[in-house]
Structure formats: structure tokens, C-alpha cells
Amino acid sequence: MKRPRFRLNRISLPLALAAFLAAVPAFPAGFQVMTQGAKATGMGLAFTAVADDPSAIFYNPAGLGWQKHFEAQIGAEFLTKVKGDFEGSNPYPGNGVSEKQHSTTFVVPNVYAVVPLTNELNFGLGINSPYGLGFRWDNPETFSGRFVSQNAVIQTVDINPVFSFQATPTFSVAVGADYRFSKVQLERNNAAINPLTNSVVDVAHVKLNSKIQDNHGWGWNAGVLFKPIPQFSVGAAYRSRIKIDYEGTANFEQRLTGTPFDALVAPQIPRGSHPVQTKIEFPATLNLGTAFTFPGDFLVSLEADWTQWTSFKSLDIHFPDLPGRDLHRDDEWRNSWAYRIGLQKKFGAMAFRAGYYRDKTPMPTEDIGPLLADNDRDGYSLGFGFGTDRWGIDVSDLYLKVHDRNNRGHSNDNFYGTFKEAVNVFAFSLRVAF
């Protein structure tokens, strides 16, 4: 009797990915999401030199070298934009204009499994969403930036198999692959001058969309972890760039003004569905960390994370069957650093955690606008864990305060004002070892 084989066919693959896409992150540094485990989240994401649970597959897979049992971990992060305000200024959209981003809670699940193959060699598999974006504005039909963006979404699902090899009792190395599925969605209105009034009117709505199962790319990752003594460790983890070429559809709908102008505009709007192409080059990352365990089971973890955001040079949207409608947007992003500190104090089976980090934005002031407005942020976290070698539960909460950012005099979109954001992330993880 033949054993049924699991195949990621055209039906099961979208369903499998959708389980992760039901939750899409919304508020990254740039659009990176580092909250991929409750324990790490509780320690301010300073986990590269700790990496002592299955989420090490994401933070530093070399940490699997010290995990000698089959282990599985599931978890989720609940990300809520607690503040997403914009206060406009002259010349556009003008003083006194207030806008709000759509506030909702996104759920980002993650799954990790560790399988020891030999005493030194481990296999790990992680599924998570390390990049994402949800920048959606309330009242999209009146939002003052609606001709740039009403809603921008990037979703990713990574399948991340890794192998770790503990070369010596104090040193482990790991290498793995990243297979990333992704989709993008962009919505905005088009403007025109209504000659009858010599003023601006909305004449069309454009929605670009792609399917998650149709767009994917490969990358690789590696990590090292060195523990010369039990009380000290130093680690590094690297993930390569991943380029994804997207293909999707663009839908154009005419917005009627109720004037004779509609008839003049109609022939110029390519109503219906048209193919569209774009690409995103997700950045490489390098995480460097060290951790000290002081007497009394008090752990201090320090980390510096570098992200090569210069890979994100432009947003290019190509309409193969609509000559002259291609869009090009320069995005001169800079490489960025984040600096983290995490603390953990254990009392038997219980662990209390805290963390802080300062994450520098990759976005120059000129680039912030309705599509995305990022800035330096401070993250404050608290966490709690309870468990044994066989099982464990971790919960944590991270409050992310994005510094207010004013782009007075510096806006490529000519969209001026102050952006104010704050995000709360609640995370939990369940771990079982066999």
C-alpha cells in the first residue's frame, strides 16, 4: 500500500500559507519583524548569544547545538498599533489636518521544531514571518495622502530548515536555507484637475495585488555560538538578501464625479484587471550578541543588529500592457543598527525577564509619507517563563514607542507633517521536549 504523500499543490499550499498570513505584521523597523519568540521578546530581542529554545532557529541556529532533545515550540505574537496618528502641516495637506492609521490587532504565529540527528548534528525547521507591513489609513476616500497610498501591505512566510553542528562542547555552527513566500498589496486613488472647476477630484482607484503562492525567493542563513565557559557566550547570526519578483494584477476603477468630466476621463482609465510586476529585495541581516550569567542565575544579554537596508533602493511597478503607466519611486534607505539589552532572573522553574532596545530607522526623512513612515524607536519589554527541561511556557509584552517624526521641508511626496506611532506586542510560546 502506497503511503499518501503530502504535496504542496495549488490548493494546499495557499491554505498552508494562509494559516500564517491570517496574521500579518504591521509595524517593523523598516518592515522587519524581529518578534519571533516570546522568550526573546521578553528580553528585548537580545537573544543571539542566548538562543536556548527552539526559536534559536530564527535568532541564531547555532544555539541548537546545545539542544539535545526533540523539541517543538509554537507561539504567536499579537501586534496592536496603539497609536498611528498624523498631524499635517503646510504646504500639503495643511495645518490642522489630522489623519489616523487603521488600528487593529494582527496575530503572527510561529512554529519551530528541533530534531537531534546525532549527538553533534541537529536539524531544525522554523516557519514564521520575519518581514511584513500593514500601513493602512482610516477614511481612505478622504485621507489627504490617498493619491500616494491608502493601504500598503507586504506579507511574508518563511520556511527555514537549518542544520547545526556542535564542533566542540563550547562551539557550535549552523547553516540553513530560507524559502520565502510573499505577497504585496497597494491601493490608492488617482487625481486629476477637473477643468470645470480648476480643482482636484478623484478619478480612479487602483488596487495592486499578488498571490502569496505565486511569489517566492531563496536565501540562506548561518550562525555561530561560542560558550568558552557556562557563564559567558558570544554569538553571531547572518541572513542573506532575498529577492522576490512579484507578479500580480492591477484593478482600475473609475471614481465618478457626477459631472460631464466623467465622460472625458473614462477613456483614459484602463478599467478592469491588468498584469503588474514589481520586486522587493529583502535585506541581509547580521546579529552580534554576547551574554553573561552572574551568580544567582541572573542573565544579561547584549546585542547589536545590523540590517542592510540599502538593498531597498526603489519601488518599481511595471504594467506590461499599459505603456506609460509604470511607477518609479526612489527610496534611499540606509543601513541601520539596533542596540539591545535583555535581562533574565530565574527562581527555580520561574524566569522573569526584561529588555530594552533602541532601533535606528533606515528611512531618510525625505522618504517618509503615506506609504510608510518609520523612525527610531525604543522598545521596552517584560516577560515571564515557567517550565522544565521537558516543557515550558513563556509570555511577554513589548511596548514599542516610535519617536515622533516631522518631515518639515523634506518630503519626496510633498506630504508634510508629524507622524506619531506606538505599537504593543503580546507574545506567548509553548515548548515541549521529548
Partner 1 sequence: MKRSLLRLAGIAAVAGLWAVGAAAQAPNFSKYVALGDSYGAGYGSGCLVVREQRFSYPAQLARSFGITDFQQPTVSDPGIPTCNQITSLTPTFGPISKNTGAPTNAALARSYDNLSVPGYKIADVSDKTTDNGGIADLILRGRGTQLNQALGLNPTFITLGIIGNDILTAGGAGFLQDGVTATPLALFTAKYNAVAAALKASGRTGVFLGTPDPRFIPLASTIPYYVVDPKTRQPVRDAAGNVIPLYGTRDTGDPRCKVGPGGKVCPLPPGTEVTLGASAPQAALGGKSLLALGFGIPCSVDATLPKCDFGLPDGSFTPPATVTIGVVLYPDEVIAIDQRVRDMNAVIKSAAEANGFKYFDFYALSQDLIVNGRTYAGIHISTSFVTGGMFAYGEAVHMSNIGYTILSDELIQFINASYGTNLERPNIATALFTPDVPAPGTTGAIGPAASVDFTEEMWRGFFRSFPFQEESFELVFPAEPAAAVERAAPVDRSRVIRVPRKRL
Site for partner 1, rule CB under 8 A: 90-95, 97, 144-148, 188, 190-200, 260-261, 263-264, 369-370, 413-415
Reference 336, options 407, 278, 286; nearest CA is 286
- Shortest reach from residue 362's CB to partner 1, in Å: 22
- Shortest reach from residue 416's CB to partner 1, in Å: 8
Distance set, CA 302 to CA 59, 75, 239, 290, 293 (Å): 13, 24, 19, 5, 12
- Shortest reach from residue 261's CB to partner 1, in Å: 6
Cis peptide before 91 (omega within 30 of 0): yes
What the block records as the C-alpha cell of 304 is 547589536
User: Given the complex with partner 1, which of 113 and 327 has the nearer CB atom?
Assistant: 327
DSSP conformational letter for 137? B
User: Given the complex with partner 1, which of 149 and 278 has the nearer CB atom?
Assistant: 149
User: Given the complex with partner 1, which of 188 and 340 has the nearer CB atom?
Assistant: 188
- Shortest reach from residue 30's CB to partner 1, in Å: 22
- Shortest reach from residue 195's CB to partner 1, in Å: 5
Burial 160-191, CB ≥16 within 10 A → b, else e: bebbbbbeeeeebbbebebebbbbbbbbbbbe
User: Given the complex with partner 1, which of 118 and 198 has the nearer CB atom?
Assistant: 198
- Shortest reach from residue 46's CB to partner 1, in Å: 39
Strand partners, 379: 357, 400
In whole angstroms, what separates CA 117 from the centre of its chain? 32
CA distance 235 to 224: 6
Q: Output 326-329 pairs: Cβ under 8 A, ≥24 positions apart.
A: 329/371, 329/412
- Shortest reach from residue 300's CB to partner 1, in Å: 40
User: Given the complex with partner 1, which of 61 and 417 has the nearer CB atom?
Assistant: 417
The residues near 85 (Cβ < 8 Å, ≥ 6 apart) are: 98, 99, 100, 101, 419, 420, 421
User: Given the complex with partner 1, which of 261 and 319 has the nearer CB atom?
Assistant: 261
How many of the other CB atoms lie within 10 Å of CB of 240?
A: 17
Indicate the helix (H) or strand (E) that contains 300: strand 298-307
User: Given the complex with partner 1, which of 95 and 104 has the nearer CB atom?
Assistant: 95
Surface-to-core class of residue 104, CB atoms within 10 Å of its CB (0-12 exposed, 13-18 middle, 19+ buried): exposed
- Shortest reach from residue 327's CB to partner 1, in Å: 10
Query: Which amino acid is located at 255 in the chain?
Result: R
In whole angstroms, what separates CA 298 from the centre of its chain? 31
User: Given the complex with partner 1, which of 89 and 344 has the nearer CB atom?
Assistant: 89
- Shortest reach from residue 136's CB to partner 1, in Å: 17
User: Given the complex with partner 1, which of 168 and 268 has the nearer CB atom?
Assistant: 268
